[in-house]
Chains A and B, each alone.
Chain A
Amino acid sequence: MKKEKIYSIWFLMPAFVIFAVFFLIPVLSSFFYSLTIWDFKTFTFCGFDNYVMFFSEPSLNTSLIHTLVYAFMTSGLKVLFAFFIALFLTSKIRTKSFIRSAVFFPNLVSAIAVGITFTTLMHPTKGIINIIIKALGGSTVNFLGDPNIALFSVIAVDVWKGVSIATVIYIAGIQSIDSTYYEAAQIDGATFWQRVWNVTLPMCAPAMDSVIILSLIGGLRCFDLIWAMTGGGPGFATDVIASVVYKQYAAGFYGLSTAGNVIMLVLISIIAFPLQHFLIKREEALS
């Protein structure tokens, strides 16, 4: 029997049809609707007005910068912290399965629940974090109310929630390294940190690439946690593209909202695709 007949294309169709109808078609049509003023029923073509508006209005275009800061900082911190946690959890300590579980659990809790928890822990006067800061002799910080700090507070919580996935990926990468490399390094008299730098780090490059790409895309698309913790405020201090899309939708500016959606898509494409290409190239060069 022919391959085409055994592995019939019809097996592929249910999944593809659902995906095409409910994902691809809306994405394609969003390019068109972003050029209009519309209300789901009628539309008026308005050229690039929505985009001009998005990039010229300060309350909107700062969301671009916030999104980039948010994505690159969460990604960078996860790449860094997760590596050391993974290094620690692949050492000879005996409580690693407990620690791994503790690190992993926040990942299963919804962003809204995490947001509520940390909003109270970060309460400007009664929050436990500020009580600790005060007890240590510092002055209290208005984590979510100060426009200069709010974005970084949410970033910290995002890292807290998401560092586990990165850690787990690193652990898998580190465990797959052949132990003969370490033995060879040890015979050559390499210290612990020399082994980490020259063996572990380059050998788990594929894991690191997964962490970078996954956390970067997650950061660029982030909505739930920011919405639960600050709702984009104070003012527009923590507005990211996804929250602008929602706000403009709630305010009835559907064209502007759709343009925001397209801008997010383009931003992710111009960052993620070349980065992935570069990382794969580098991986090939290393191996």
Chain B
Amino acid sequence: MNKKKKIQILVGDIVGCALAIIIFIFPFYFMFINSLKDRREANKLSIAFPTSIHWENYLDVLKNNNYQVLIAFKNSFLIMLFAVAVLIIVCSMAGYVVQRRNDKVVNIISTLVMLGLMLPPAILPTIKLLQQLHIYKTMFGIVMIEIALQTPFTLMLYRGFVASVPKELEEAGYIDGCTNFQVFFKIVFPLLKPVSATVIILDAVTIFNDFQNPLYFFNGSKNATVQLTLYNFMGQFASEYNLLFADVIIITIPMLIIFLIFNRKIVDGMVAGAVKG
């Protein structure tokens, strides 16, 4: 490589990193340092370092309103856990059949499900339905809603991946006398592990960050989710930015951990999902 080219690349590196830090990382730095200040200092919204560090802001946020943030965390995690577990089982089964079979009934069903990738959910009729089933504002209700909304995307990911599982493996299972149920769960499902990992991460992030559906279907002081409490804090702590920012940081930490561990996987999963869609 000639010298001119090398310098060009170096300049690119420096300018690129500088822009990335200023545009994409700076806002998080701003949140973090202001979450450590006392109330008066934080309200200046400056980017200066805190004169004294107040870690107790985080405790204050957690204790606020009778540990509401902790309860919300518990709710959010349970919703995420149940919804993702069910999604993995039902969508892997469905994606398997949709990919392997190509007849009229299956095609109609899969076309209907794929409509869900585009169309917005009908909110008030859903509330009526949940009320009729006596599951409005319950954990079960919101879990079912999240499952239904993530089904199209999850099924699409599984359908794409099943194509790479050789049919010969299934035949070997049948020769050994397995039922189709056993063949799927003992042979095919373990082979879907890579896409299952992608599904877990993407669906978990989406459900954890969801605001709109909990707002409609899971509202109320007792059964809030983290995003709902964060939104309510916005009004409550309008003049206490340090606490508001501490709450933002607390709620973003799980995503940061997931990101640091699965960075590559998330990005690859996004591509797989998006390009096939």
For the residues of B in contact with A, the DSSP-based class is helix
Is the beta-carbon distance between A108 and B259 smaller than 8 angstroms?
A: yes
**Interface locus among A26-34, A146-154, A278-286:** A26-34
Residue of A21, A40, A246 most packed against chain B (CB within 10 A): A40
Residue A22 is within 8 A (CB to CB) of chain B in the complex: yes
Residue A25 is within 8 A (CB to CB) of chain B in the complex: yes
Interface, chain B (partner A; CB < 8 A): 9, 12-13, 16-17, 20-21, 23-25, 27-28, 30-31, 43-47, 86, 89-91, 93-94, 96-98, 100-101, 103, 105-106, 109, 112-113, 116-129, 131, 144-145, 147-149, 151-152, 155, 170, 174, 180, 183-184, 205, 208-209, 211-212, 215-216, 227, 230-231, 234, 241, 244-245, 248, 251-252, 255-256, 258-259, 263, 266-267, 270-271, 274-275, 277
- Return 28 A-B CB contacts under 8 Å, by A number: A7-B100, A18-B90, A19-B148, A19-B151, A21-B129, A22-B126, A22-B148, A27-B119, A29-B129, A30-B124, A95-B17, A98-B20, A105-B28, A106-B27, A108-B209, A108-B259, A111-B211, A126-B43, A126-B44, A127-B45, A168-B267, A169-B270, A169-B274, A171-B271, A206-B275, A228-B231, A257-B124, A272-B118
Partner of B113 from the list A16, A26, A257 (CB cut-off 8 Å) is A16
Closest A residue, CB atoms, query B208: A110
Closest A residue, CB atoms, query B126: A26
**Interface locus among A55-63, A70-78, A116-124:** A116-124
A11 and B182 CA atoms in complex are apart in Å by: 12
Interface, chain A (partner B; CB < 8 A): 1, 3-9, 11-12, 14-16, 18-27, 29-30, 33, 40, 88, 91-96, 98-106, 108-113, 116-118, 120-121, 123, 126-128, 160, 165, 168-169, 171-173, 206-207, 210, 213-214, 217, 220-221, 223-224, 227-228, 242, 245-246, 249, 254, 257-258, 261-262, 264-265, 268-269, 272-273
